[in-house]
Structure 1
Amino acid sequence: MNGRRKKSSGTPLLGKYELGRLLGRGTFAKVYLAHTVTGGEPVAVKVIDKAEVMGTEGMAPRVLQEVEAMRRLRHPGVLRLHEVLATRASIYLVMELAPRGDLQSRLAALPSHRFSEKAARRVFVQLTVALAHCHARGVTHRDLKPQNLLLDGAGNLKVSDFGLSALPDSFREDGRLHTACGTAAYAAPEVLRNKAYDGAKADAWSCGVTLFVLVAGRLPFDDANIPDMCRKACRRQYVVPPWVSPPTSRLLHRLLDPNPETRVAVEALAGTHPWFVKRSLSLDSHLDGLLDSQPERALAFRAPSVNAFDIISTSQWLDLSGMFGESRRSKEKRFVTTASPEQTLEQLGRAGRKLGYVVVVGKKGRECQRCPLGGLTISVEISELEPPLMLVEMRLEMDDGEVRVFSWDQLR
């Protein structure tokens, strides 16, 4: 099955999409399976009732926020918005189809209501990489939970539902957010307490709760009384099940830190936690056998996966303005890509050929690209995170200790 279907004689939506069965519904919207009229490619169409939205306070801005956020984001781990259509009565969001549904439904279908650590690890790595991209583009999600995390035909994660997201213009002069929103059980303590908060750190807390649910099969803090739940969260009153490994317990401890100042940011996890530096034991794209074995074919008109240069140009991890500072950290940069090591090195080599790149194959399955620039060397190591994600680490080395003026623009 490739997800395509034969054309029917039904009336297509604005001449472009043929609506099929209902996939789900909410208060103001319904989501349908649809196919393009021209090629039969499957998509999901979210149909929003204009009258209902306009008649409900605060809903119109949420729709606009969702559209604007999704338009900003182009990443394999974020549900793709193809286009927005409208009639007098409805708004249509044409989105990438995630045929395997949401994580909450997957968990509910399992007897234990939880994933194995191997399966949870794969999901979590993809979540944090996608979220780091969102943060680098100025988008904080603010409603991360298993219900909003979808799976595509190959079992890869897709972050969805940006209706409560915050864009750069949502931040006040103090650089923080002031609107409490999201789902209480997944919201950070500072959000529940109606304090000004760092959106990225609040997302990190939600990632911690989500990870706990994936490996434990239950919420870490679950109380019908929100003030009581908030007190438990502030005191870290949660119990990790005995089957959860020590590294995972430590990761949960770092994410479920009630102090946002010391809470780990998702951007800081890549390359520092065993889940992110240990090579995958399998290239199998399925969640430990939990998902169906038949992948869906990718859409013919889907944008290409983010490559090294897409991420270099947008990620805060590669702000090279401080590369020549005194600290060791300023001389080391990293980013994540879905391109293969060969593709990444080819891209870097093509961009820097005029500077005399020399490619060297490193040990233990890593690739190392060295760029000698007259006493200055940039080494690039590529290692596998979780398929299809690769961690690219760039290191600046001074051969003679002399600081030279160097700009990334030289390699573009």
Structure 2
Amino acid sequence: MTEKIKSLFHKAKLDVKFMNAGKGHKLTESTSNVGSTSTVEPRKRVEPTKEAKVAGQAALARLEAKESNVKRFNTSYAAIKAQVKRELEQEKQAQKNVQKNHVQPEEKAAEDNSSLAVSYVCYRCPYLSDEVLPQDEWKVKIKEFLYEQLKGEDAGLISCLIIQNCNSKKERIDTCVDTLGKYLENIINIPEEEKYKKIRMQNRVFQDKVIPIEGALEFLNAAGFCQKKLMNNDEEEDFLVWNANNCNIDDLIILLEALKTAQPIPLELDRNLQILLPMQANMRTELPPSFFNLTPEDIGKEQQLRTEAVERDQMLRTKAMRERDEKQRLRKYKFSLIRIKFPDNLILQGTFSVHENFQNIVNFVSENLINNERPFSLKKLPQTTFNDDCFDKTLLELGLFPATLLMFFWKNMSEETSHNESIGYLKEELLSVIQPA
């Protein structure tokens, strides 16, 4: 078992000890203020994040893949500024033509993937590898990894992870863990009692709560239980019988702690960092179904539901009714597409969970700036600003879902030390992420 996987158990133990230690300071408390109500005081420069490193790697990959192309996209900042200017002029002219000729702009077909702002939601698993994969693919990969590790000497610990990672419905998992825990606790607390050393496999509790859960039998085997035929009510039945030679009391205590502290192997949401030109941002507006806890049909009905919600709000309704409807509405959203538009009209795009704090957006922007030591503001037009009370609020609480455009501003742009427009705002290596429209 890898050291990173072992660290999962160590972290879980610390978390349990912390929760049992009584009241104290919140882990999220900070010793310094965030800043003024409309500005962000960035942190000191730190080691580049995974997103920034991956952006550079992605850029290299694209360049290598395009070596055979005759036409290359110029990623110098001057060329990009010129391209942005041309696109803004084209967009302005197109709007004039629409107004002059009363022609409706063409709409892209919903099934056209070129209209998607992001193709799919991906994750990283720092405990296994640096790959970026959809969640379903990670589930398969994690399962394969754990069953391969099950062949090693840490089968008991690995089986705890299989229980947590290879089964659905948390209630069923928790019930199984409680049942397995009782089997072990009975032996640990009363080792001389023979009846606690046998589990009848046809027992209803065992059949309903243990057998259906992957990893449960493997855990019992690692805990010293072996399958045997025994007589019961004059009939031969299958039993799991504990043998101290296979797993002593001290080992049972270790396994019991591992069973109670094991957690699912965490996945980190990949930001899917993109730098968009104006026309690309205008064209890529659709969100994939994976952004929602909805079927495609439900998404199509969302506008109708919003209209009905306005009508309901005009009726006499209790506060409890309104809160219930609001909670039901918010459950539909899983992710938020955040776009940050800079004064040079380049757009930084990232994917976030709706349950992440606004501070994570601030960090995302700061990590990708050329000058991340200068305070900046993020605003949502027309007039929404975010004060320090907003930084710990989730995107769901702030209404920044399912997609939001934020405007970037330097603080005190009128000062003599104004931003150098010739170098732009984003790190130079990120310009290679831009793809021609």
Q: Which has the larger radius of gyration?
A: 2
Task: Name the structure, 1 or 2, with higher relative contact order (CA <8 Å, separation 6+).
Answer: 2
What's the TM-score once normalised by structure 1's chain length? Answer: 0.19
Choose between structure 1 and 2: higher helix proportion: 2
What's the TM-score once normalised by structure 2's chain length? Answer: 0.19
Choose between structure 1 and 2: higher strand proportion: 1
